[in-house]
Amino acid sequence: MGIRYGRISGGEVEWIEVSHCDCDGIGGFARLLRKQGLKNLAVPRTKHSSLGFLLPLWRLWRDKRKKEICAERGDWKHATQSNNIAWHLFTEAETHAILDRCRALGVTVNSFLLQALDQAVRPEVRTSEKKISWMIPVNLRGDISYPDDTENHVSCVETKIAPNDTPTMIHDKILYQLRRGEHRANHLLLNIGHIFSHQTKVNLLNKDRTRPTGNIGAFSNLGVWNFEDKTNEDGWVFCPPLVLGQLLAAGCVTFQGRLGLATQGKSEKDTIEQRMRRWIENIGEP
């Protein structure tokens, strides 16, 4: 599975793919920037440390037993097997205006952008009146530690969003999940997989991806990467991997004061570009 980074110079994008087997989104971006000369670059650490594992695991198991009516994989509107991508880079002024709006609402940029993306994707779902489940990667650096700080220090939460959910409601849902340690529980379950053979893990993954229910895709935010050295005028966009059973993947990153968005999916190029246009419209005029 490849993580896609787009380096934008003069309005043109150069795509670079990094294997998710080697690192996570933050780690891959750190590797690319260090290659450009930012040798002392420090990677972001988690703001949501979770101590212990028994209570988070029990909470996750209990909640997964609750029945919720959500859109299913059969509701995704796949059009083609080719994987297309679209991107957008905001100006510094536009990015500042988006940040100001998030502060006024009292929500994170992550929740604000996810709500706008959720609304943009609903025309691609046959049962758009139902809740949609999203996979949201969570950085675990500071909670766990590996020798290489660019390795996979990532887990996730799955957040179910209703059509009328506001950014504030989404913000509260994600914060609730993080406080309960769902990201830590998911990481612990993932590590249990190390006891299985490679083929067993492949079989389990394929079985999971054929279940009727599942998340529509991943939405990942790499956060803010601003540096005093303003000589590098390149912009960056980023998109997490698209895995079997998902309709799309979408990501965002703020580099040198400019917010960049990208989304990919196994749909016609026009469909991906229309999704991006709806996403930008839902974010609103800065």
Write out pLDDT tens, residues 29-80. Answer: 999 999 988 878 888 887 766 655 555 554 555 566 566 778 888 888 876 6
Q: What is the pLDDT of residue 183?
A: 73
| 157, burial (CB in 10 Å: exposed 0-12, middle 13-18, buried 19+) | buried
The per-residue pLDDT for range 152-197, each reduced to its tens digit, is: 888 888 899 999 999 999 999 999 888 888 777 777 766 665 555 5
pLDDT at residue 114 above 50?
A: yes
Contacts of 241 (CB under 8 A, 6+ apart): 1, 2, 3, 4, 20, 218, 249
Give the rounded percent of residues in the chain with a pLDDT score beyond 90. Answer: 51
The neighbour count for residue 159, using CB atoms within 10 Å, is 23
pLDDT at residue 202 above 50?
A: no
Q: What is the pLDDT of residue 63?
A: 64
Rounded to whole angstroms, the Cα distance separating 112 from 103 reads 10
Which of 53-67, 106-120, 171-185, 267-281 has the least mean pLDDT?
53-67
Strands (E), the chain: 2-9, 12-19, 84-89, 132-139, 154-161, 217-225, 235-239, 248-255, 258-265
Rounded to whole angstroms, the Cα distance separating 16 from 268 reads 21
Which of 206-210, 233-237, 255-259 has the least mean pLDDT?
206-210
pLDDT at residue 200 above 80?
A: no
What domains, with CATH codes, occur in the chain?
2-283 (3.30.559.30)
3-state secondary structure 211-246: CCCCCCEEEEEEEEECCCCCCCCCEEEEECCCCCCC
Four-CA torsion 45, 46, 52, 56, nearest 10 degrees:
-150
Q: Which residue has the higher pLDDT, 55 or 26?
A: 26
The packing angle between helices 92-105 and 167-179, to 10°, is 70
Give the rounded percent of residues in the chain with a pLDDT score beyond 70. Answer: 79
The total number of residues shown for the chain amounts to 286
Q: What is the pLDDT of residue 64?
A: 62
pLDDT at residue 27 above 60?
A: yes
Contacts of 212 (CB under 8 A, 6+ apart): 72, 73, 74
Half-sphere exposure of 42 toward its Cβ, with a 13 Å CA cutoff? 5
pLDDT at residue 213 above 80?
A: no
pLDDT tier, 17 (very low <50, low <70, confident <90, very high otherwise): very high
Four-CA torsion 163, 166, 171, 177, nearest 10 degrees:
-30
pTM given for the model: 0.87
Q: What is the pLDDT of residue 190?
A: 67
Which of 47-56, 230-239, 260-269 has the least mean pLDDT?
47-56
Q: What is the pLDDT of residue 131?
A: 94
Q: What is the mean pLDDT of the chain?
A: 84
pLDDT at residue 205 above 90?
A: no
Rounded to whole angstroms, the Cα distance separating 71 from 159 reads 13
Q: What is the pLDDT of residue 198?
A: 47
